């Protein structure tokens, strides 16, 4: 993450997202999944656990690790699985998402499901088509997406576009909206670590189970820009699952001490996170990140309208 050494109370507070600069669009190239699977990262998390924790605690912690598809800028020889920014290819009849009363959403990212190593993840991603993510980030408008306020949820959308739409013409940006620069992405599989505030981690390991040196080592390991599909979210200000659970249970009408939060948080999984990224002129608040979460049964059924977006920043 851009800023992982800050932990704060729910909900996060900071200024709103920044705005972009345009570049010409680039087509996605579908890479065979076997090529993607060969590009894996060394597993440092098990090593860190063995180094800093007693054997029994290390075993419990590593038992909670989840596979994640970590997205990185694609080099010349890398298979391209998606991109940040640019302009989307929307099929005929699909409108550019708009937040009524505010304006069109910014096009954040597009991912080719057939190119992602979905078989290596523990969430039921679609086998084909493209996932397109949109988020309202007008810096001249104080309106922000807030999981505690359903009236703001229209400020974030994820669309599952059919495979044939990859040949659709590029959709021009609506008037007044400046596209983000385009950045092709490749993927590497690697384990992901649970947030130290995740209820499932507390249930398995207890309160305050981890020495400061271990927490600092995990933060150092997760430093840098972090775009990701599946796995544990790399949160900036506490477990995003709890934030989404709070919104799902009623938001502002629900206390952060509500005993239902822990159970509800366990029903949500990370679909995608997109970090602040200078190369794509994306700044979500102060070095923050966007997170889309969804219940696994909604994901398996293709009910992407049920996904919930939250964001955190330093």
Check if the beta carbon of residue 284 is closer than 8 Å to that of residue 311.
Answer: yes
Element housing 108 (H / E)? strand 106-112
Walking along the chain (314 residues) 10 residues at a time, the average pLDDT comes out as 40 38 34 33 84 97 97 96 97 95 97 97 97 91 91 97 91 95 97 96 96 96 93 94 97 94 97 96 91 98 97 88
Check if the beta carbon of residue 308 is closer than 8 Å to that of residue 292.
Answer: yes
The token duo for 72 is 């990185």
User: What contacts 220, CB < 8 A, 6 or more positions away?
Assistant: none
Determine the Cα–Cα distance for residues 199 and 207; give it in Å rounded to an integer.
10
Q: What is the pLDDT of residue 223?
A: 86
Query: What homologous superfamily is domain 44-312 in, according to CATH?
Result: YwqG-like (2.30.320.10)
Q: What SS3 state is found at 185?
A: strand
Place of tokens 């992407």: 304
- Select from 151, 155, 154 the least CA-distant residue to 138: 155
Determine the Cα–Cα distance for residues 289 and 225; give it in Å rounded to an integer.
9
| Helix, strand, coil percent values for the chain (each to nearest 5) | 25, 20, 50
Q: Which residues pair with 99 in a beta bridge?
A: 103
Check if the beta carbon of residue 68 is closer than 8 Å to that of residue 191.
Answer: yes
- CA torsion through residues 262, 264, 270, 274, sign: negative
In angstroms, what CA-CA distances link 214 with 9, 33, 165, 204, 244?
21, 34, 46, 17, 27
Q: What is the pLDDT of residue 19?
A: 33
Element housing 311 (H / E)? strand 308-312
Q: What is the pLDDT of residue 227?
A: 97
Determine the Cα–Cα distance for residues 162 and 146; give it in Å rounded to an integer.
29
- Whether residue 11 is preceded by a cis peptide bond, meaning omega within 30 degrees of 0, is yes
First-residue to last-residue Cα distance in the chain: 11
Q: Where are the domains positioned within the chain?
A: 44-312
Determine the Cα–Cα distance for residues 83 and 186; give it in Å rounded to an integer.
8
Determine the Cα–Cα distance for residues 230 and 288; give it in Å rounded to an integer.
18
């Amino acid at each position: 993450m851009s800023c992982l050494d800050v932990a704060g109370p729910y909900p996060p507070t900071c200024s709103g997202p920044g705005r972009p600069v345009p570049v010409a669009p680039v087509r996605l190239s579908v890479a065979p999944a076997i090529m993607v699977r060969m590009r894996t990262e060394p597993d440092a998390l098990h090593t860190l656990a063995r180094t800093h924790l007693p054997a029994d605690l290390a075993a419990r912690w590593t038992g909670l690790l989840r596979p994640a598809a970590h997205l990185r800028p694609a080099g010349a020889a890398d298979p391209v699985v998606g991109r940040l920014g640019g302009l989307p290819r929307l099929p005929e009849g699909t409108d550019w998402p708009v937040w009524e009363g505010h304006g069109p959403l910014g096009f954040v990212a597009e991912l080719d499901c057939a190119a992602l190593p979905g078989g290596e993840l523990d969430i039921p991603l679609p086998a084909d088509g493209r996932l397109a993510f949109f988020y309202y980030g007008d810096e001249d408008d104080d309106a922000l997406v807030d999981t505690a306020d359903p009236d703001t949820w229209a400020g974030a959308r994820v669309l599952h576009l059919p495979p044939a739409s990859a040949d659709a013409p590029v959709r021009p940006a609506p008037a007044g909206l400046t596209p983000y620069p385009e950045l092709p992405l490749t993927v590497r599989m690697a384990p992901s670590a649970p947030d130290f505030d995740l209820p499932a981690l507390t249930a398995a390991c207890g309160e305050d189970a981890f020495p400061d040196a271990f927490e600092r080592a995990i933060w150092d390991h997760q430093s840098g820009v972090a775009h990701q599909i599946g796995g544990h979210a790399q949160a900036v200000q506490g477990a995003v699952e709890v934030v989404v659970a709070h919104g799902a249970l009623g938001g502002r009408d629900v206390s952060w001490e509500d005993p239902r939060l822990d159970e509800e948080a366990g029903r949500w999984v990370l679909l995608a996170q997109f970090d602040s990224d200078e190369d794509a002129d994306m700044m979500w608040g102060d070095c923050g990140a966007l997170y889309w979460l969804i219940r696994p049964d909604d994901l398996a059924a293709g009910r992407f309208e049920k996904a919930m977006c939250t964001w955190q920043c330093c």
